[in-house]
Amino acid sequence: MSNSNIRVRFAPSPTGPLHIGGVRTALYNYLFARKNGGKFILRIEDTDQTRLVSGAEKYIIDSFKWCGIEFDEGVASGGDYGPYRQSDRKHIYPAYAEELVKSGHAYYAFDTPDELNKIRTDYELQKLTFVYNAVARKKLRNSLTLTEEETNKLLESGEPYVIRFCMPENKIVVMNDMIRGKVEVNTSALDDKVLFKSDGMPTYHLANIVDDHLMEISHVIRGEEWLPSLPLHVLLYEAFNWEKPEFAHLPLLLKPDGNGKLSKRDGDRLGFPVFPLEWKDPKTGNISTGFREEGYFADAFINLLAMLGWNPGDERELFSMEELTEAFSIERVGKSGAKFDPVKAAWFNHQYLIRVDNETLAGLLMPIAIKNGVLVEKEQLSIAVGMVKERVNFVSELWDHLDFFFKQPENYDHKSVKKCWKEGSYNQMAELKDVLLEVDDFTAENTEKAVKKWIENNEYKTGAVMNAFRLLLVGELKGPHLFDIVALIGQEASVERIEQGLHEIGRIEN
């Protein structure tokens, strides 16, 4: 299944942080390349000078590094097909644009943006839509309506111009998409897209085709939002007389509620991250949280993203990157958009968290313990983590489930006191203190045996005693097996907590 001719790329525009839809697109490209023994390339499409955001390119690279998505070639990795940043390739595009003019597939247009905007507004006033197409181009200032002499004069005088694709009239373009199959469109519905801008840079459409060709890209796997541009791209390959790559347009990632493309706004509104890493907007200073900062494990993040739009065809849901690579195929990518579900996302993280060993989790939890002003032995913390990790989705939630191991209750939950602190509780707990003091080897088993024997001898109610005991140790009615708690906090501390509790809660007079 190995094919060294397979080359795919992820080609983001560094206009801001990468959102999870982009990460998923990159992931599918990566998996496709790995699965088929091909190469995966990172190309930066920064042809729009006005929309560059500083730090965005670094953010993109850092994000993939965190996720474990690796590039064989690209801006950070090098390679034989560079440079991999389109602004660094600026010099190569004009010749290609001019080649199309010479072959009659494109033309110079001298309309200014202002002129075109005015025409568009006028059309709108008449409830019409202006389309720069075969009809319109005949009435505008371009190398098709001007004489060759006039055109050359304008070009030489430094008049700003763009190069537009000369869209054929009434021709059916037949395309194939690996996910959607055959797609046909009539060129009459298409317009004369700008290929080369007046600022000397190519547009996306030109740069994309030229670079994919020069970089020998075999499969273009990108978001569905590009499907409407596919006819233009196909026509460009044909105009250049180049071999076309295969195309696959991935379904969109949708917002959790309602319909529509997932956006940064949805994350802010519904309180979940839409970016892999935290992003600070350099202009506004606004901070958007990332999956990493929210406590997602990188492999859980990859796993949940992979399952949004793809499935293995059987009932497995948990996949390592290696397993994904093995199982992935474009054929099993769905056609329809997938809503991002933050609840299931958290479930994925839970699945990973419970599989992480206790020592590692304790290491991650340590800073939180310190922040809470509690000095903890890592070994103790590991044991406590092992007892409660099933209960949480994120490391950050762990502390609330085990802080009582490491500090005495500061207060006693009212409801719990009301529920389980009865008339006899004070005396029972006072007795229990002495029972604990007499246990030699203070293990969970020994303590449990001693306490149960004492309960039996006195004919106390197990539930009542245990709940009162739990209340004094934990401060409320929660937590793991009581004798595991006792064993971990130790004989001395257990007795101390009973004493403190007796003092704080006192006798109940009924």
Partner RNA sequence: GGUCCGUUCGGCUAGCCAGGUCAGGCCCCCAGGUUUUCAUCCUGGUAACACGGGUUCGAAUCCCGUACGGACUACCA
Query: In angstroms, what is the minimal distance from the CB of 433 to RNA?
Result: 17
Burial of 170 (0-12, 13-18, 19+ CB in 10 A): exposed
Question: Measured from the CB atom, is 378 or 400 closer to RNA?
Answer: 400
Query: In angstroms, what is the minimal distance from the CB of 250 to RNA?
Result: 10
Helix or strand holding residue 164 (H, E)? strand 162-165
Query: In angstroms, what is the minimal distance from the CB of 366 to RNA?
Result: 22
Question: Measured from the CB atom, is 464 or 493 closer to RNA?
Answer: 464
Say if CB 206 and CB 97 are below 8 A apart: yes
Say if CB 371 and CB 388 are below 8 A apart: no
5 alpha carbon, distance to own chain's centre: 29
Q: What distance in Å separates the CA atoms of residue 341 and residue 360, rounded to the nearest whole number?
A: 28
Query: In angstroms, what is the minimal distance from the CB of 13 to RNA?
Result: 3
- Told to judge if 264 belongs to the known catalytic residues of this protein, a careful annotator would answer yes
Question: Measured from the CB atom, is 34 or 193 closer to RNA?
Answer: 193
Going from the C-alpha of 444 to that of each of 134, 274, 334, 491, the distances in angstroms are 85, 45, 52, 11
Q: What is the largest CA-CA distance in the chain?
A: 114
Residue among 339, 374, 381 nearest 358 (CA): 381
Question: Measured from the CB atom, is 315 or 322 closer to RNA?
Answer: 315
CA geometry: angle 351, 352, 354, nearest 5 deg: 70
Matching residue, tokens 């994904």: 324
Q: What distance in Å separates the CA atoms of residue 361 and residue 374, rounded to the nearest whole number?
A: 17
> Could you give the residue ranges of the DSSP H alpha helices within 272-357?
298-306, 321-327, 342-353
Q: What distance in Å separates the CA atoms of residue 263 and residue 280, rounded to the nearest whole number?
A: 16
Strand 253-254 and strand 279-280: the pairing is: unpaired
Is there a cis peptide before residue 83, judged by omega within 30 degrees of 0?
yes
DSSP 403-415: GGGTS--SS--HH
Question: Measured from the CB atom, is 76 or 378 closer to RNA?
Answer: 76
Strand 181-186 and strand 172-177: the pairing is: antiparallel
Query: In angstroms, what is the minimal distance from the CB of 332 to RNA?
Result: 6
Q: Which listed residue (65, 244, 264, 478) is catalytic? A: 264
Question: Measured from the CB atom, is 378 or 408 closer to RNA?
Answer: 408
Question: Measured from the CB atom, is 223 or 378 closer to RNA?
Answer: 223
Active-site annotation, residues: 264
